[in-house]
Amino acid sequence: MKNSRNNLRLHRKRRIRAKVSGTAKKPRLAVFKSLMSIEAQLIDDAKGITLLHSHSKNLKIKNGIEGAKKVGTDIAKKALAKKITEAVFDRGGYKYHGKVKAVAEGAREGGLKF
């Protein structure tokens, strides 16, 4: 039986999550993308809580590379307001190009360090 694209992504995600973990001082910047939107969250894995999130639908922007960059900039702005300067990037099993790369670049431009 052939694996679906999403099952392969979830397998990559589990492999990444085995190595990547976030704390309160250095949370995990998790990216999720769908066909309609893109979302970024800062997560404290030690406590199991989401500290901040940014979603393209909340920002009322189009789902594209420019929109993904704005999501990254928005999450960085919110993080700096809460005095979070460093994060660990979690690409969520997606390849590091296109929208996922744009979120990372936007967060770096906004002031977050990976």
What value does the CA radius of gyration of the chain take, rounded to a whole number of Å? 14
The domain segmentation of the chain, as residue ranges, is 5-110
> How does DSSP classify residue 3?
P
pLDDT tens string 50-102: 999 999 999 999 889 999 999 999 999 999 999 999 999 999 999 999 999 99
Fold of 5-110: Nucleotidyltransferase; domain 5 (3.30.420)
> How does DSSP classify residue 24?
S
Average model confidence (pLDDT) across the chain: 93
